[in-house]
Amino acid sequence: MLPTPAFIIEEDKLRKNLELVADVAAATGVEIILALKAFAFWPAFPLMAEYLPGATASSLNEAKLIHKHFDRKPHVYAPAYPPKDFREMAELANHLTFNTLTELERYRPQWEALETNVGLRVNPEYSPVETELYNPSNPHGRLGETLPNLPTRPPKGLKGLHIHTLCESDAAATATLIERTRAQFGHYLEQIEWLNLGGGHLMTREGYDVEGLIKTLKELRARYPHLKVIMEPGSAHVWRTGYLQCTVLDIVNNYGSATLMLDVSFTCHMPDTLEMPYRPMVRGASAEPANGFPYEYRLGGMSCLAGDYLDTYYFRQPARVGDTLVFEDMAHYTTVKSTMFNGVPHPAIVLVDADGEVVAERRFDYADYEARMG
């Protein structure tokens, strides 16, 4: 019996996504890796490593996790490197990207001595992402150097460029990103060894123009045959492979508003639903008024935060205490962004195979809460 609440990740769906990603990599010669910031449930790493040549980290913890459980040297990019962590991160990394030229120069003696393969994050000042919280291409922003800051020739020892400005984007956005990158940094591309196109390429979404992406990547490789091209999506690998199941604990009625009190929390376990905000799909319910869905409930979390609820969802039947609710598509970002705010117990994370058998399971208890907070 699966625990509740729990994030359930379905192995067969994960494999299907990974097969598509591996096909794109094989057709184009592009190295496609996993960004841990989107998914870090490491018991699934051996399975993912059957399809992916590696993974990328943005902290020492993630780098160590990749080294230990993905059994590969990680790609590493961090917006800033803490001096106490730098040496270990550089020793672990097979590619290491700096966010600024000043950091690249500050750490030069160390990375030169270690012969680290270093890159620089640049900002091509293009992004299709409209939500400010997820748009890294602001020219006044903090993620990567803009063109006016770069010397005409790459600094000595620089091997690669890294760009990341997409989020849940389509193939046309990848094409535009490459076009803008060439327009701004084409003179660098001739002189370096690798280009990392970042994440946000949601090639596993239904309707994504996979053939269009393959064409764009082939053209890029034909134009710069010397260049190793890397992509590091996170969401694409785990898109629609997992759900969060929970239980109705109580129903609160006030002035005609009924709220289902759930054994999960939006602020602790699904923070994007409040921050972005977005409305997750709830199995068997409608997020909008609809014929045949007459029963209206707000969905309430179990923390003390007043705003820990989602506005009205519509149901076919009246809800009852003890009912199970399923939030769809909760594997990417949600599993890593969830916290233990308020001491609310963390949902278990489970990997099940196509027959519903548990492949790997992690339950959380007080010791985890204590370790996470201390």
Which residues contact ligand PLP (rule: CB under 6 A)? Answer: 35, 37-38, 77, 164, 167, 198-200, 232-236
Nearer to ligand PLP, 35 or 325 (CB): 35
Q: Measured from the CB atom, is 198 or 271 closer to ligand PLP? A: 198
Output the smallest distance, CB 233 to ligand PLP, in A. 4
Amino acid at 91: E
Q: Which residue has the tokens 């058998």?
A: 357
Nearest distance, CB of residue 230 and ligand PLP, angstroms: 10
Q: Say if residues 279 and 340 touch (Cβ distance below 8 Å).
A: no
Quick one: 66 or 260, whose CB is closer to ligand PLP?
66
Residue 56 CA to residue 36 CA, distance in Å, equals 6
Give the residue nearest to ligand PLP (CB). Answer: 199
CB of 162 to ligand PLP, least distance (A): 7
State the nearest-atom distance from the C-beta of 324 to ligand PLP, in Å: 28
User: Kind and range of the H or E element at 350?
Assistant: strand 348-352
CA–CA distance, 85 with 77 (Å, rounded to integer): 13
278: tokens are 């977005």
What's the min distance (Å) between Cβ of 231 and ligand PLP? 9
Instruction: Using the minimum distance from each CB to ligand PLP, give the nearer residue, 129 or 305.
Output: 129
Closer residue to ligand PLP in complex, CB, 129/287: 129
Q: Residue 373 CB, nearest distance to ligand PLP (Å)? A: 25
* Torsional class of 140: left (φ above 0), alpha (ψ -120 to 50), beta (otherwise): alpha
**Which pairs from 254-259 meet CB under 8 Å and 24+ separation?**
257/298, 258/296, 258/297, 258/298, 259/297, 259/298, 259/299, 259/300, 259/309
- Of 36 and 220, nearer to ligand PLP (C-beta) is 36
